[in-house]
Amino acid sequence: MLIKRGDRKSLDDMAASSTPLLLWLQGGPGQTSLLGEFLENGPLGLQGDGKLYRRKHALTEQLDVVYLDQPAGAGYSFTKDITNGFARTLEDMSRDTVEFLRQFLILFPEYNGRDFYIAGESYGSRISLSTAYRLHRDPSKVNATLKGVIHGVGFWFPIVSALDTSNYFRALGLLDHNGYKMLSERAANITALISEGKNSEALSLMGKSFWISKNESDPTLFQKLTGYEFVGNVLQSKEPPVFRKFEELARKSHFRKAIHVGKEAPYRAYNKNLRSNLLPDYFRDLTDMAVAIMNNYKVLVYVGQLDATFAQDRTHTFFSDLPWHGTEDFNAADHRIWYVNEGDARSAGYVTCVRNFTYVTLARAGHYPGHDEPEATADMFFRFINDRFEGPVPRGYGTPEDTNGKESTQQRCATTLLLYLTTSAALLLQV
């Protein structure tokens, strides 16, 4: 996990700052949040050739960000207790995340009382919601002012609600009428199994049908019908090279040494034990949590127009039906075309603002919006945090030039603090 301190160079600068604190949680479940740092929104970016560069549009230009590997077993985090060490429920994950925050604020008291946001992408959006809900129920747990929750390309509904993407893929020309029939029937079969209480069978069939197989010999039905090997963006059938480069970098000894994870922390991009323990959660409806949070805090929901993992219409339907106090206003509102800068030739997407709720569709973005549309994604975060979606945001945040890897990792990480969380303790080291 990394916390970036923007352009502030000393701990005294940090103590004097009122910069909001953002906790970033990646998806999977099991992906390291360093993927967000290096491929989406951190001050250091990774190119397809494996070189580092200084990202122009990083969240850390206006926010202090903690990138947390959660739950235990994700990324570099680990447990030696294979039987009982992995989280099994959202309550387990939110408990551990709140405990991390408690220890973090003890060790870094300058962050006590700061405005605090929790952001999660994909499956991480479920952890962000459950953590916010735990803090809402017992705000005395940590000395931070929870201001908002950010739901990125994820699902607060049971996963079965997002399964049937056959209409979406047929409209894009990825399926013919036969493929459409096969995929829609498979979704119906899975739904029927769930209604009969046969969750194990439903999970098995789901893994053989949708998205991309991980560490499996047989491709899914979706792969066979479309030829796709990547579900990050419907315009990309193959995984961009930078994702593979990141996996290579994450395993290199000099990188592990630079970020102080230690030799005992194995890196895993895919943890089968972690995922298998959490599979029942995929069917859980988080409506009650969502209503409580949306009735009391700022909420940003963003979807990718070209997301091949979770089609954006399913997310919109969930929030259209959600019984919070702004439902009628949301359903009556028209979205606005959103531009990052006045005079831009193309829009960044579409936004609907209702009360404390902001719903954004990022144009041309898929399941990794910060990778696909970095400037628009950063602009969206800044507008949401600053309540400025009704007009242009002053371009006060820096836009350093790309450096094409010319500076060393040590130079760029000079103002980085590493936070490494195990199942029992937090270890914090200054680089």
Could you give phi then psi for residue 157, rounded to 5 degrees? Answer: -105, 165
Cα 93 to Cα 311: distance, rounded to the nearest angstrom: 26
Residue 281's pLDDT band (boundaries 50, 70, 90)?
Answer: confident
Name the residue among 355, 350, 301 with its Cα closest to residue 328.
Answer: 355
The average pLDDT across 201-212 equals 86
The average pLDDT across 4-19 equals 57
Write out pLDDT tens, residues 298-347: 999 999 999 999 889 989 999 999 999 999 999 999 999 999 998 999 99
Name the residue among 97, 33, 95, 77 with its Cα closest to residue 271.
Answer: 77
Task: Give percent of the chain above pLDDT 70.
Answer: 83
Q: Between these two residues, 408 and 22, which has the higher pLDDT value?
A: 22
Q: What is the pLDDT of residue 402?
A: 39
Going along the chain from its start, the domains and CATH numbers come out as 2-156+239-430 (3.40.50.1820), 161-226 (no CATH)
| Residue 391 CB contacts under 8 Å (≥ 6 apart), including other chains | none
Q: What is the pLDDT of residue 160?
A: 81
Residue 215's pLDDT band (boundaries 50, 70, 90)?
Answer: low
The average pLDDT across 23-36 equals 88
Bridge partners, 351 (sequence order): 336, 360
pLDDT at 57 over 90: yes
Cα 154 to Cα 175: distance, rounded to the nearest angstrom: 24
pLDDT at 132 over 50: yes
Beta strands at 21-25 and 64-68: parallel, antiparallel or unpaired: parallel
For residues 415 and 4, the answer to whether their CB atoms sit within 8 Å is yes
Helix ranges, 231-368 (H): 241-251, 253-258, 272-278, 287-294, 312-321, 327-332
Q: What is the pLDDT of residue 396?
A: 38
Residue 217's pLDDT band (boundaries 50, 70, 90)?
Answer: low
Q: What is the pLDDT of residue 81?
A: 63
For residues 322 and 291, the answer to whether their CB atoms sit within 8 Å is yes
Name the residue among 38, 103, 19 with its Cα closest to residue 248.
Answer: 38
Q: What is the pLDDT of residue 187?
A: 92
Average pLDDT in the chain: 83
Q: Is the peptide bond before 266 cis (omega within 30 degrees of 0)?
A: no
The average pLDDT across 216-236 equals 90
Q: Between these two residues, 410 and 11, which has the higher pLDDT value?
A: 11
Write out pLDDT tens, residues 368-402: 999 999 999 999 999 999 998 865 444 433 333 33
pLDDT at 87 over 90: no
As a three-state string, the secondary structure of 11-68 is HHHHHHCCCCEEEEECCCCCCCCHHHHHHHHCCEEECCCCCEEECCCCHHHCCEEEEE
